[in-house]
Chain A
Amino acid sequence: DTEVTQTPKHLVMGMTNKKSLKCEQHMGHRAMYWYKQKAKKPPELMFVYSYEKLSINESVPSRFSPECPNSSLLNLHLHALQPEDSALYLCASSLGVPGEKLFFGSGTQLSVL
Chain B
Amino acid sequence: DVQMTQSPSNLAASPGESVSINCKASKSISKYLAWYQQKPGKANKLLIYSGSTLQSGTPSRFSGSGSGTDFTLTIRNLEPEDFGLYYCQQHNEYPPTFGAGTKLELK
The yes or no verdict on A and B being binding partners is: no
Residues of B within 8 A of A (CB): none
Residues of A within 8 A of B (CB): none
